[in-house]
């Protein structure tokens, strides 16, 4: 059955897609007629069965992007609407991802790093209330702790993230993935109120709230032919503690150690004059947020890799997918051992055996 997004794309012009996206499936279109002037565009729809591991704040990425355009935020994809059909599509940013130009673990070129700092600057200028896009209610998975003007409660912000990860990314997955989590040594009360991570969250210094992108990694930066860096995938944008956005960025970018230290200092120099107090408690609180991100990755990657390995069972790709998953999950467990207080991290071989047993059991596929 043809997807609604593909049918909509076909009414506009020649379809080049689809593009692989985790939460949305995108179709790239070369518009015809009066829309030809827009160049290539893309139309997306939610990917069936996509698992959410991050708390969302805004109800619609399309509405958020329209608001960012209204507020003059540069280098974000434009959003267009065909009045006759109501079809909404995004401008397609031509270029290469930063991940293709400098893979994870490699240094980022100074020109690109400067533009990443400009993105942080544009975010910290947008205070709570500036963006008028609809927000999700708590019963829809949105944040209950809506930050107000002035200084936000950073501890409340992180405790809200912990609660979401504990309930939605861990406990809600236990009926299906509980045996795998147990085999990997992840405790049932991970991230609970008495956990090390929750205790550290209570010690955060308050900082002023601003708009956060929430997913600033190399694949979400597009470098166009002129060398300009654009930011895509705003589905996890929210309001909150600016230090969380920095921690998420560092965790996902995996800068070399020397460059990471320089990035932190450059972030401080860039953001603080625009958002006084954004660097309060930086030395103590950045490690606390990084610990949360390392812990969160366990719940995200354990499940995603189980889904990927299960899908490969019976195919020629199974052995390679299994080995890749075992290495990735073992590395994630090692990095999260301290924040999750894991008493015994299984070896890569033990992780591979756990995945092989779990994913080849018919009831788990």
Instruction: Specify the higher pLDDT residue, 82 or 99.
Output: 99
Residue 169 pLDDT more than 90?
Answer: yes
8 Å CB contact between 284 and 154: no
Structural domain includes residue 1:
no
- CATH number of the domain to which 230 belongs: 3.90.1200
Instruction: Specify the higher pLDDT residue, 175 or 21.
Output: 175
Residue 146 pLDDT more than 60?
Answer: no
Structural domain includes residue 36:
no
Residue 150 pLDDT more than 50?
Answer: no
User: Per-residue pLDDT averaged across 115-122, rounded?
Assistant: 98
Instruction: Specify the higher pLDDT residue, 182 or 19.
Output: 182
Structural domain includes residue 37:
no
Residue 62 pLDDT more than 60?
Answer: yes
Residues above pLDDT 70, as percent of the chain: 92
pLDDT the model gives residue 10 = 78
Extended strands (E) in the chain: 13-15, 24-31, 41-46, 79-81, 88-91, 96-97, 151-152, 207-208, 210-212, 221-223, 229-231, 238-240
Per-residue pLDDT of 190-243, as tens digits, reads: 899 999 999 999 999 999 999 999 999 999 999 999 999 999 999 999 999 999
Tally of domains in the chain: 1
Q: Residue 139: give the domain boundaries.
A: 67-76+94-364
Structural domain includes residue 8:
no
Residue 355 pLDDT more than 60?
Answer: yes
Rounded to 5°, angle at Cα 151 from 145 and 153:
40
pLDDT the model gives residue 205 = 97
pLDDT the model gives residue 46 = 72
pLDDT the model gives residue 28 = 87
Give Cβ neighbours of residue 59 (< 8 Å, ≥ 6 apart).
133, 134, 135, 136, 140, 142
Residue 149 pLDDT more than 50?
Answer: no
pLDDT the model gives residue 13 = 77
Instruction: Specify the higher pLDDT residue, 300 or 343.
Output: 300
Structural domain includes residue 26:
no
Q: Lowest-confidence range among 50-64, 107-121, 286-300?
A: 50-64
Instruction: Specify the higher pLDDT residue, 50 or 309.
Output: 309
Residue 147 pLDDT more than 60?
Answer: no
User: Per-residue pLDDT averaged across 43-52, rounded?
Assistant: 71
Instruction: Name the one residue in this structure whose structure tokens are 């600033």.
Output: 216
Structural domain includes residue 187:
yes
Give Cβ neighbours of residue 84 (< 8 Å, ≥ 6 apart).
none
How does the average pLDDT of the chain come out, rounded? 90
Structural domain includes residue 334:
yes
Provide the Cα torsion 260, 266, 272, 278; round to 10°: -10
Structural domain includes residue 51:
no
């Amino acid at each position: 059955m043809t997807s609604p997004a593909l049918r909509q794309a076909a009414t506009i012009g020649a379809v080049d897609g689809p593009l692989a996206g985790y939460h949305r499936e995108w179709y790239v279109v070369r518009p015809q007629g009066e829309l030809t002037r827009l160049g290539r565009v893309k139309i997306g729809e939610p990917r069936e069965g996509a698992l959410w591991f991050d708390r969302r704040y805004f109800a619609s990425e399309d509405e958020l992007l329209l608001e960012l355009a209204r507020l003059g935020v540069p280098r974000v994809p434009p959003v267009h609407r065909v009045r006759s059909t109501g079809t909404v599509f995004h401008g397609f940013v031509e270029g290469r991802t930063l991940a293709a130009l400098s893979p994870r673990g490699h240094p980022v070129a100074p020109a690109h790093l400067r533009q990443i700092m400009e993105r942080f600057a544009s975010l910290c200028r947008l205070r709570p209330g500036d963006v008028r896009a609809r927000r999700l209610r708590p019963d829809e998975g949105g944040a209950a702790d809506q930050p107000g003007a002035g200084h936000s409660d950073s501890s409340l912000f992180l405790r809200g993230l912990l609660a979401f990860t504990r309930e939605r990314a861990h406990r809600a997955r236990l009926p299906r993935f509980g045996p795998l989590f147990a085999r990997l040594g992840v405790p049932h009360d991970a991230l609970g109120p008495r956990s090390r991570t929750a205790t550290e969250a209570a010690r955060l210094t308050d900082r002023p709230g601003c708009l956060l992108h929430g997913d600033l990694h190399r694949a979400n930066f597009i470098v166009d032919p002129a060398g300009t860096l654009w930011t895509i995938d705003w589905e996890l944008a929210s309001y909150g503690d600016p230090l969380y956005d920095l921690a998420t960025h560092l965790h996902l970018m995996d800068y070399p150690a020397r460059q990471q230290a320089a990035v932190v200092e450059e972030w401080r120099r860039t953001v603080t004059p625009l958002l006084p107090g954004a660097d309060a408690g930086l030395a103590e609180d950045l490690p606390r947020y990084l610990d949360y991100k390392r812990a969160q990755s366990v719940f995200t990657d354990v499940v995603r890799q189980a889904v990927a390995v299960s899908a490969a069972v019976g195919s020629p790709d199974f052995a390679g997918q299994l080995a890749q998953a075992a290495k990735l999950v073992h590395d994630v467990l090692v990095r999260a051992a301290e924040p999750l207080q894991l008493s015994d991290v299984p070896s890569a071989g033990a992780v591979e055996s756990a995945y092989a047993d779990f994913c080849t059991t018919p009831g788990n596929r």
